[in-house]
Amino acid sequence: MKYFILFGPPGAGKGTQATAMVEKYNLRHISTGELLRKEIAAGSELGLKAKSLIDAGALVPDEIVEGMIESEFRTVKGVNGFLLDGFPRTAAQAEALDKMLSKTSEEVTSVVSIMIPDEMIRERIKHRASIEGRADDASDETITNRIKTYHGKTEPLVEYYKKKGKYSEIDGTGTIEEVREKIFALMDRF
Protein backbone atom coordinates (compact mmCIF):
# COMPACT_ATOMS: atom_id res chain seq x y z
CA MET A 1 0.00 0.00 0.00
CA LYS A 2 1.28 3.49 -0.86
CA TYR A 3 0.79 6.53 1.37
CA PHE A 4 1.28 9.91 -0.28
CA ILE A 5 0.94 13.27 1.47
CA LEU A 6 0.03 16.34 -0.59
CA PHE A 7 1.48 19.69 0.51
CA GLY A 8 1.20 23.11 -1.05
CA PRO A 9 0.15 26.64 -0.18
CA PRO A 10 -3.34 27.96 -0.96
CA GLY A 11 -3.68 28.44 -4.69
CA ALA A 12 -0.96 25.93 -5.62
CA GLY A 13 -3.45 23.66 -7.39
CA LYS A 14 -3.65 20.82 -4.85
CA GLY A 15 -7.35 20.17 -5.50
CA THR A 16 -6.92 20.11 -9.26
CA GLN A 17 -3.86 17.84 -9.11
CA ALA A 18 -5.28 15.54 -6.39
CA THR A 19 -8.12 14.49 -8.69
CA ALA A 20 -5.68 13.44 -11.43
CA MET A 21 -3.36 11.70 -8.94
CA VAL A 22 -6.23 9.68 -7.46
CA GLU A 23 -7.47 8.61 -10.91
CA LYS A 24 -4.09 7.68 -12.41
CA TYR A 25 -2.77 5.75 -9.40
CA ASN A 26 -6.03 4.34 -7.97
CA LEU A 27 -5.63 6.14 -4.65
CA ARG A 28 -8.24 7.06 -2.03
CA HIS A 29 -8.15 10.82 -1.45
CA ILE A 30 -8.42 11.57 2.27
CA SER A 31 -9.35 15.13 3.07
CA THR A 32 -9.78 15.70 6.82
CA GLY A 33 -12.72 18.08 6.34
CA GLU A 34 -14.47 15.59 4.07
CA LEU A 35 -13.84 12.77 6.58
CA LEU A 36 -15.35 14.78 9.42
CA ARG A 37 -18.47 15.53 7.37
CA LYS A 38 -18.79 11.85 6.36
CA GLU A 39 -18.45 10.57 9.94
CA ILE A 40 -20.95 13.15 11.23
CA ALA A 41 -23.45 12.25 8.48
CA ALA A 42 -23.03 8.53 9.28
CA GLY A 43 -23.68 9.19 12.98
CA SER A 44 -20.63 7.11 13.97
CA GLU A 45 -19.20 7.34 17.48
CA LEU A 46 -16.29 9.46 16.17
CA GLY A 47 -18.72 11.57 14.15
CA LEU A 48 -20.94 12.23 17.17
CA LYS A 49 -17.91 13.28 19.24
CA ALA A 50 -16.72 15.57 16.45
CA LYS A 51 -20.19 17.09 15.97
CA SER A 52 -20.59 17.93 19.66
CA LEU A 53 -17.18 19.64 19.65
CA ILE A 54 -17.87 21.57 16.44
CA ASP A 55 -21.33 22.60 17.70
CA ALA A 56 -19.67 23.92 20.87
CA GLY A 57 -17.24 25.95 18.75
CA ALA A 58 -14.23 23.80 19.70
CA LEU A 59 -11.55 22.32 17.46
CA VAL A 60 -11.69 18.59 16.85
CA PRO A 61 -8.72 17.04 18.72
CA ASP A 62 -5.98 15.19 16.87
CA GLU A 63 -6.99 11.81 18.32
CA ILE A 64 -10.45 12.01 16.71
CA VAL A 65 -9.06 13.02 13.30
CA GLU A 66 -6.36 10.33 13.58
CA GLY A 67 -9.02 7.75 14.49
CA MET A 68 -11.00 8.64 11.37
CA ILE A 69 -7.92 8.36 9.16
CA GLU A 70 -6.93 5.03 10.68
CA SER A 71 -10.46 3.78 10.13
CA GLU A 72 -10.19 4.73 6.42
CA PHE A 73 -6.86 2.87 6.15
CA ARG A 74 -8.48 -0.27 7.63
CA THR A 75 -11.81 -0.21 5.80
CA VAL A 76 -11.18 1.15 2.28
CA LYS A 77 -10.48 -1.71 -0.13
CA GLY A 78 -9.67 -1.95 -3.82
CA VAL A 79 -7.16 0.91 -3.94
CA ASN A 80 -3.38 1.00 -4.38
CA GLY A 81 -2.96 3.52 -1.59
CA PHE A 82 -4.00 6.82 -0.08
CA LEU A 83 -3.46 10.51 -0.79
CA LEU A 84 -3.57 12.54 2.42
CA ASP A 85 -4.58 16.18 2.01
CA GLY A 86 -4.74 18.43 5.08
CA PHE A 87 -3.08 15.88 7.34
CA PRO A 88 -0.59 15.91 8.91
CA ARG A 89 -0.46 19.62 9.74
CA THR A 90 1.86 19.42 12.75
CA ALA A 91 4.93 17.42 13.79
CA ALA A 92 2.80 15.66 16.45
CA GLN A 93 0.35 14.56 13.75
CA ALA A 94 3.23 13.39 11.53
CA GLU A 95 4.57 11.27 14.40
CA ALA A 96 1.07 9.88 15.05
CA LEU A 97 0.79 8.95 11.35
CA ASP A 98 4.16 7.16 11.52
CA LYS A 99 2.98 5.17 14.57
CA MET A 100 -0.32 4.35 12.88
CA LEU A 101 1.42 3.00 9.77
CA SER A 102 4.09 1.13 11.74
CA LYS A 103 1.33 -1.06 13.27
CA THR A 104 1.09 -2.73 9.85
CA SER A 105 4.82 -2.38 9.05
CA GLU A 106 4.13 0.41 6.56
CA GLU A 107 5.36 3.97 6.20
CA VAL A 108 4.76 7.19 4.29
CA THR A 109 5.79 6.63 0.66
CA SER A 110 6.42 10.27 -0.24
CA VAL A 111 5.38 13.85 0.40
CA VAL A 112 4.49 15.63 -2.84
CA SER A 113 4.82 19.37 -2.27
CA ILE A 114 3.53 21.72 -4.98
CA MET A 115 5.37 24.99 -4.47
CA ILE A 116 4.67 28.43 -5.88
CA PRO A 117 6.10 31.83 -4.85
CA ASP A 118 4.11 33.94 -2.37
CA GLU A 119 3.30 36.54 -5.03
CA MET A 120 1.71 33.85 -7.21
CA ILE A 121 -0.32 32.66 -4.20
CA ARG A 122 -1.72 36.20 -3.94
CA GLU A 123 -2.56 36.34 -7.66
CA ARG A 124 -4.22 32.91 -7.73
CA ILE A 125 -6.28 33.44 -4.57
CA LYS A 126 -7.49 36.85 -5.82
CA HIS A 127 -8.32 35.34 -9.21
CA ARG A 128 -10.17 32.41 -7.61
CA ALA A 129 -12.03 34.82 -5.30
CA SER A 130 -13.23 36.90 -8.26
CA ILE A 131 -14.37 33.81 -10.20
CA GLU A 132 -16.13 32.23 -7.21
CA GLY A 133 -17.42 35.55 -5.84
CA ARG A 134 -15.62 35.04 -2.53
CA ALA A 135 -15.00 38.56 -1.27
CA ASP A 136 -13.61 37.15 2.00
CA ASP A 137 -10.73 35.59 0.08
CA ALA A 138 -9.90 38.74 -1.87
CA SER A 139 -8.58 40.98 0.93
CA ASP A 140 -4.81 41.42 1.11
CA GLU A 141 -4.91 40.95 4.89
CA THR A 142 -6.67 37.58 4.60
CA ILE A 143 -4.30 36.39 1.89
CA THR A 144 -1.23 37.52 3.86
CA ASN A 145 -2.52 35.67 6.93
CA ARG A 146 -3.14 32.48 4.92
CA ILE A 147 0.40 32.63 3.49
CA LYS A 148 1.90 33.23 6.95
CA THR A 149 -0.14 30.38 8.46
CA TYR A 150 0.91 28.01 5.69
CA HIS A 151 4.63 28.80 6.09
CA GLY A 152 4.45 28.70 9.89
CA LYS A 153 2.63 25.37 10.07
CA THR A 154 4.20 23.57 7.12
CA GLU A 155 7.90 24.41 7.27
CA PRO A 156 8.52 22.24 10.37
CA LEU A 157 6.87 19.34 8.49
CA VAL A 158 9.04 19.92 5.44
CA GLU A 159 12.12 19.47 7.65
CA TYR A 160 10.57 16.43 9.36
CA TYR A 161 10.03 14.65 6.03
CA LYS A 162 13.32 15.84 4.49
CA LYS A 163 15.20 14.17 7.38
CA LYS A 164 13.34 10.93 6.59
CA GLY A 165 14.15 11.23 2.87
CA LYS A 166 10.43 11.38 2.05
CA TYR A 167 10.07 14.97 0.82
CA SER A 168 9.79 15.91 -2.87
CA GLU A 169 9.08 19.38 -4.18
CA ILE A 170 7.38 20.15 -7.48
CA ASP A 171 7.55 23.57 -9.16
CA GLY A 172 3.87 24.55 -9.41
CA THR A 173 4.35 27.66 -11.56
CA GLY A 174 3.63 26.06 -14.95
CA THR A 175 0.37 25.13 -16.61
CA ILE A 176 -1.89 22.51 -15.01
CA GLU A 177 -0.61 19.95 -17.53
CA GLU A 178 3.07 20.82 -16.97
CA VAL A 179 2.72 20.53 -13.20
CA ARG A 180 0.77 17.28 -13.58
CA GLU A 181 3.54 15.79 -15.74
CA LYS A 182 6.12 16.62 -13.03
CA ILE A 183 3.94 15.06 -10.33
CA PHE A 184 3.38 11.91 -12.38
CA ALA A 185 7.11 11.61 -13.16
CA LEU A 186 7.78 11.75 -9.41
CA MET A 187 5.03 9.31 -8.45
CA ASP A 188 6.02 6.85 -11.18
CA ARG A 189 9.26 6.28 -9.23
CA PHE A 190 7.26 4.71 -6.40
* Structural domain includes residue 188: no
124 catalytic per annotation: no
134 catalytic per annotation: yes
pLDDT (tens digit, 0 to 9) for every residue of the chain, 190 residues total? Answer: 999 999 998 889 998 999 999 999 999 999 887 888 888 899 988 888 888 888 887 778 888 889 889 989 999 999 999 999 989 988 899 999 999 999 999 999 999 999 999 999 988 888 877 787 766 666 788 888 888 888 888 888 999 999 999 999 999 999 999 999 999 999 999 9
146 catalytic per annotation: yes
Residue pair 5/88 in contact (Cβ under 8 Å)? The answer is yes
* Structural domain includes residue 47: yes
Q: What pTM, to 2 d.p., does this model score?
A: 0.86
The catalytically annotated residue of 134, 148, 153, 162 is 134
Domain ranges, residue 10: 2-181
The catalytically annotated residue of 14, 124, 180, 182 is 14
Q: What is the domain count for the chain?
A: 1
Say if residue 5 is exposed, middle or buried (CB neighbours under 10 Å; 0-12, 13-18, 19+): buried
Q: What is the dihedral of CA 13, 14, 15, 18, to 10 degrees?
A: 120
Q: Which CATH number covers residue 177?
A: 3.40.50.300
89 catalytic per annotation: yes
